[in-house]
Amino acid sequence: MRYLTAGESHGKYLAGILEGFPAGVRVTKQYIAAQLKRRRQAPGRSARQAIETDSFEVVSGIQKEITTGAPITVLIKNIKVFNELPFSSVPRPGHADLAGMLKYDTLNAALIRERASARETAARVALGSFALRLNELLGVCINSRIVSLGGLNEITAQSAAVELKRARAAGDTLGGVFEITAENLPAGLGNFNQWDAKLTSRMAAALMSVNGVKGFELGGGFKLATLSGLAAAKTPELSGGLDGGVTNGRALVMRCAIKPVPGLKAGTPSINLKTFKNTEAVSKTSDTTAVFAAAVIAEHAAALTLAGALLEKFGGDTFEEIKQRVKLWRLKTGKKLAYGCAVSMPMAVRRPAKR
């Protein structure tokens, strides 16, 4: 399974092609729309986002909402389309502007922003919906939750709203931490034989690619670095579900750190790369935090990677074929897994996914 996304923030469409996805998976338009809505209307996004919806089409790979095995194409319409790209030779600190302007040898930061923008992630969520659904149908539950916001660790919907309102009023932005879990994964996915076959590496790559993510933890993560071996041995759940880069039957538990949105309405000191004069870069992005949206995107990025790992282990071109193989595998590994986990490594509680 592989995929490419394309499209600019103010081009006609964002586009994505997902190749190698099995036939026979029912993914409704409503399901995809709901995922896109979760991303778009996540708390902390601008007022405008909250009222708009993503208008999209699945133009290939599907017949009557059931995948055919052919590559899936999703197109998402951009609401605002630039006929003429604006010009700005002032890179915004904290964004890809400077790096991109140098890389592509251009004085127009707008050319860079158009693609480097997190708008791209809408295409990833649309493609990821298929992977998320495949995981669900195979009994794998991928969820996310916000662990902290702007340094506050006990976050409720209410306290988050208060915090976001406060920051917005101050012209400020917030970072935070989210957690991604995948429960009921078959044991034995991923491989320790090569560095790039480890599921650890692949999950890290998938999640670190989400815009704004600056840190990644598996299980105990940085906390594990402070524990002694004797203490760690008593908390096997801190493995985070992977040993040697292979699923061990426990829930996969990962956390990501999101930096505060760098675009500040007040402007940040920068330089005009044409004139080399000092100036201010002004960012119009009005999101107050990316944490909630990034958690949704990360679920989809994780789902794509896990779907790939499932297809590696179980092969197959149709959902029925894969489902049958997963079922047999679970029967085969069940007893050893239960015992193995139960004694020294109490299994994480497995809740069915509710979506």
Distance CA 251, CA 181 (A): 7
d(CA 263, CA 96): 12
Radius of gyration of the chain (CA): 21
Report the C-alpha gap between 212 and 223 in whole angstroms. Answer: 22
How far apart are alpha carbons 353 and 26 in whole angstroms? 17
State the nearest-atom distance from the C-beta of 354 to its own copies, in Å: 27
**In angstroms, what is the minimal distance from the CB of 251 to its own copies?**
14
Q: Looking only at residues 285 through 314 of this chain, which bind its own copies when binding is defined by CB under 8 A? A: 291, 301, 311-314
User: Which tokens belong to 67?
Assistant: 């995948």
Taking alpha carbons only, the member of 285, 321, 215 closest to residue 45 is 285
Q: Which is nearer to its own copies, 40 or 97 (CB)?
A: 97
Q: Could you please report the per-residue DSSP string of 313-326?
A: HH--SBHHHHHHHH
Tokens 């009994």 sit at which residue?
A: 139
Q: What span, in angstroms and rounded, lies between the C-alpha atoms of 189 and 185?
A: 8
**Residue choice 7, 39, 138, 308 for contact with its own copies (CB under 8 A):** 7
Cα–Cα separations (whole angstroms), residue 132 to 182, 251, 353: 11, 16, 11
**Of 227, 245, 216, nearest to 236 (Cα)?**
227
- Strands 278-281 and 56-60 turn out to be unpaired
> How far, in Å, CA of 31 to CA of 122, rounded?
14
Residues 315-344 that bind its own copies (CB under 8 A): 315-318, 320-321, 325, 332-333, 335-337, 339-344
Nearer to its own copies, 161 or 355 (CB): 161
Residue 151 or 355: which CB sits closer to its own copies?
A: 151
Q: How far is the CB of 157 from its own copies (least distance, A)?
A: 19
Q: Binding to its own copies by residue 79, rule CB under 8 A?
A: no
Closer Cβ to its own copies, 40 or 240, answer by number: 240
Applying CB under 8 A, among 27, 258, 295, 306 the residue interacting with its own copies is 258
Q: Count other Cβ atoms within 10 Å, centred on residue 301.
A: 27
**Which residue, 91 or 126, has its beta carbon nearer to its own copies?**
91
Binding mask 81-120 for its own copies (x = CB under 8 A): ----x-----x-xxxxxxxxxxxxxx----xx-xxx----
The site map against its own copies for 33-62 (x = CB under 8 A) is ------------------------x-xxx-
**Distance of closest approach, residue 152 Cβ to its own copies, in angstroms:** 9
Nearest to 185 by CA among 137, 249, 240: 249
Least distance (Å) between residue 76 CB and its own copies: 11
Which of positions 134-193 make contact with its own copies (CB under 8 A)?
148, 150-151, 167, 170-177, 187-188, 191-193
Q: Which residues from 203-242 bind its own copies, rule CB under 8 A? A: 203-209, 211, 213-222, 224-233, 236, 238-240, 242
CB of 126 to its own copies, least distance (A): 13
Strands 246-247 vs 176-183: parallel, antiparallel or unpaired: unpaired
Residue (183 or 355) nearer to its own copies, CB: 183
CB of 203 to its own copies, least distance (A): 8
